Chain A
Amino acid sequence: MRTYKPKDDVQKKAYYTDRFYVAPQVPKSDVESDEVFAKDLEAIKAKFEVLDAYIQVEQMVVWIKPEDNYGVIELMRDELEYTQLSELSAIDFIAQRDEFEIFYQMLSMNKRKRVRIKMSIKNGQAVNSVEKLFRSADWSEREMYDMFGIVANGHPFMKRILMPYDWQGHPLLKSYPLQGDEFAAWYEVDKIFGKEARDIVGPELRDTSRVDRYDSTRFARLGHEVPFGAEVKGDEPVTEQSYQEEGGVFLVKKLDKASSVVVDDPQR
């Protein structure tokens, strides 16, 4: 019987995992261990509900409720001196618990600290746009929409950014295969030549290791060239590769190796 492959998570899996393997954790430390972070967390906690907070790899991670994201980021910008929103994107956990995790990576230049605001939203839920606070969120949120299909409410131009406008599917979802679905496979042929040209152009060759030495339409046989489409028998004469024909070319000099100079020092 064919092995069952889940459709909601097509990411490559390890082909072997030890039965007793328990993955270690990246150490998390308490927020209290850092003065600056502790103060910032106090300020956030005073106004909003914080689900979890810890320090991981020198950065504070604060889990908030999704409806608070605008408020928290506004607070951080205006009162806590976090002047830049360096990054914003999502992580797909649909297969595990039907959720997306969204993170906002913030930077304070005065404090030299980085904070990551994280929140979980349900699949299909929209988030509040923070484009009014940080212009950089304009493109980041568009990218998030393009890659995951998460809509940001209140965004002025919620359209695809990296993929074409007429693209189907959101590529970074775990349910989207790496090499694309059928729409992706024929996108350029359909658009340029029309659907009926599919037979002429043929399917994409995705197997990078495939080499057919008897296929003269797609592979050259270096040193034993045959014309395009000719049948390969295997007894082709050796063909020398040179950039000029025998007997020279009209008005073009041929390189004479004996009289040429080899430059050893490129910095001469």
Chain B
Amino acid sequence: MAQIQNRLTPFFENITFDREDNELVLNFGPQHPSAHGQLRLMLHLQQEQIVKAHPDIGYLHRGMEKMAENMIYNEFMPTTDRMDYIASSSNNYGFALAVEKLIGLEVPRRAKVIRMMLLEINRMMSHLFWLATTALDIGAMTIFLFVFREREYLMDIIEGYCGARLTHSAVRIGGVPLDIQDSFIAQLKDFLEKLPQNIKDYEDLLDSNRIWRMRMEEVGHIPTEMALSWGCSGPMLRASGVAWDIRKEEPYELYDEVEFNVPYSDVGDNFARYRIYMEEMRETAKILWQTIDMYAECVKNGQTELMAHAPKYISAPKLDIMTQNYSLMQHFVLVTQGMRPPVGEVYVATESPKGELGYFINSQGGPYPYRLKLRAPSFYHTGILTDMLPGCYIPDVVSIIGTTNIVFGEVDR
């Protein structure tokens, strides 16, 4: 086959490095090991200080919103996995909740408990992963190895439930597809019993580590006004002094029945964010302990329903499909043509591990969403780098990107 050379011109051909005001332009990414994906930053430098930062995104734009417009509602569920791929059940859940609100569906209690378990396990996985990568970026390799060990245990639990390690699709519109497996509770308890000691290990290694503190404290400060104006949410907002957790303030699922605290800080720097992630892991463990009890209660009360009963929208249980003609017909129509939600709009926000994950759905009564807008928290958390980085120094960039906890699957969608 013919050998042809590429046409790419040297990249910085049209950028002048030596400005008259002694300003240097530095390109960071899009493929940088500590960019947490495909972030590209154009940094204008005055010696080592950044005077202007220009984040460039879109290197992982895969057209998910366009895909959603060409897919029936159930078909889109696996695509949501690939948004925030660290904690994919939270995306599944957000989408399922939005469609359920649109069609006005009440989910059985047992399904709710299982969903909460999945959501919190995902939150734990996401926070652990955040700690691992951020510590690795800053140079603490030990933490990376420690944390991945614990994360694999959680992966095992999830894998036992849905068969996938990363892309779960474990939530369905109207409930969950399966009951949890027999070993689930035992494994989870096993993990949760060891967790406090594990978190303590991480903290022992990091909290009084001089390098860690120097790179975290008083770096990447976000004032409250800036955080609000940029639409920050989740730990980013809570670190800046606003105790806003959607689980607490606008409870969905059974979050109004469980007891947990919302850690927040008014310092707003990297270290505050790190502390909030660590505290949130403890709170998540607390919620998981409570969901285990709630699940036992469901079993005791004989609540076995896992999917909502709504023949217009949701397929009947497999047993009915196999034995009853009408359920089979309904199932056939729902699979081949898809459900047709009512005409209307809905915006539903859930607290994903990164922040406020919102789904805006405009339905025109057809089997395909007319418009689906994914409100990803990381999108705005990347945007804030524009205002946050000026004034920082080059080594701070990596630790700031680390603590913003951005995932490019959902920034670019």
Contacts and interface: CB of A to CB of B under 8 A. Distances in A.
Contacts of A197: 4
B397 interface: no
Given A87-B360, A136-B380, A13 B230 contact: no
Interface in A1-37: 11-17, 21, 23-28
B75 to A, nearest CB: 11
A194 interface: yes
Contacts of B329: none
Q: Which of under 10, 10 to 19, 20 to 34, or 35 or more describes the interface residues of A?
A: 35 or more
Contacts of A126: none
Contacts of A160: 58
A13 to B, nearest CB: 7
Interface string A95-123: 00000000101010100101010000000
Contacts of A222: none
B365 A86 contact: no
B343 A23 contact: yes
B344 A57 contact: yes
B70 A193 contact: no
A197 B362 CA distance: 42
Interface in B328-343: 337-338, 340-343
A194 B70 contact: no
Interface stretch (A65-73, A161-169, A234-242, A249-257): A161-169
Contacts of B8: 191-192
A193 B4 contact: yes
Contacts of A208: none
Most buried by A among B371, B379, B382: B371
A267 B382 CA distance: 37
Interface stretch (B19-27, B123-131, B213-221, B242-250): B242-250
A57 B366 CA distance: 19
B383 A135 contact: yes
A186 interface: no
Contact of A103 (B65, B152, B360, B413): B360
A193 B4 CA distance: 7
Contact of A23 (B4, B70, B342): B342
Interface in A147-174: 147, 160-164, 171-172
Contacts of B7: 191-194
B231 interface: yes
Contacts of B368: 11-14
Given A57-B101, A86-B375, A135 B347 contact: no
B356 A162 contact: no
B118 to A, nearest CB: 19
B57 interface: yes
Interface string A38-66: 00000000000000000011010100000
A13 B337 CA distance: 10
A99 to B, nearest CB: 13
Contacts of A16: 337
Contact of B6 (A86, A116, A176, A193): A193
A116 B347 contact: yes
B229 A136 contact: yes
A172 B61 CA distance: 12
Interface in B57-74: 57-58, 61, 63, 65-67, 69-71
A114 B63 contact: no
B358 to A, nearest CB: 6
Majority secondary structure, A binding face = loop
Nearest to B383: A139
A24 B343 contact: yes
Interface in B222-248: 226, 228-231, 233, 242, 244
A15 B338 CA distance: 11
Contacts of B348: 57
B367 interface: yes
B345 interface: yes
A37 B320 CA distance: 45
A136 B346 CA distance: 21
A178 B344 contact: no
Contacts of B305: none
Most buried by A among B63, B342, B384: B63
A25 B342 contact: yes
Contacts of A15: 337
B67 A135 contact: no
Given A134-B231, A171-B63, A172-B65, A86 B226 contact: no
Contact of A25 (B233, B343, B360, B383): B343
Nearest to B150: A267
Interface string B397-412: 0000000000000001
A171 B66 contact: yes
A11 B69 contact: yes
Nearest to A163: B58
B345 A56 contact: yes
Contacts of B345: 26, 56-57, 61, 103, 116
B370 interface: yes
B70 A56 contact: no
B153 interface: yes
Given A116-B347, A200-B2, A178 B342 contact: no
Nearest to A83: B228
B1 A135 contact: no
27 contacts: A11-B70, A12-B69, A14-B366, A25-B342, A26-B363, A27-B104, A57-B345, A57-B347, A84-B228, A86-B358, A87-B347, A89-B373, A91-B362, A103-B360, A105-B347, A112-B250, A116-B347, A134-B230, A134-B231, A136-B383, A138-B386, A171-B63, A178-B63, A178-B66, A194-B7, A267-B153, A267-B191
Given A139-B383, A200-B2, 7 more contacts: A13-B366, A14-B366, A23-B343, A91-B371, A135-B229, A136-B383, A266-B152
In the complex, the 10 A-B pairs of residues with the closest C-beta atoms, listed nearest first: A26-B344, A23-B365, A136-B231, A162-B58, A24-B342, A162-B61, A139-B383, A12-B70, A87-B375, A91-B371
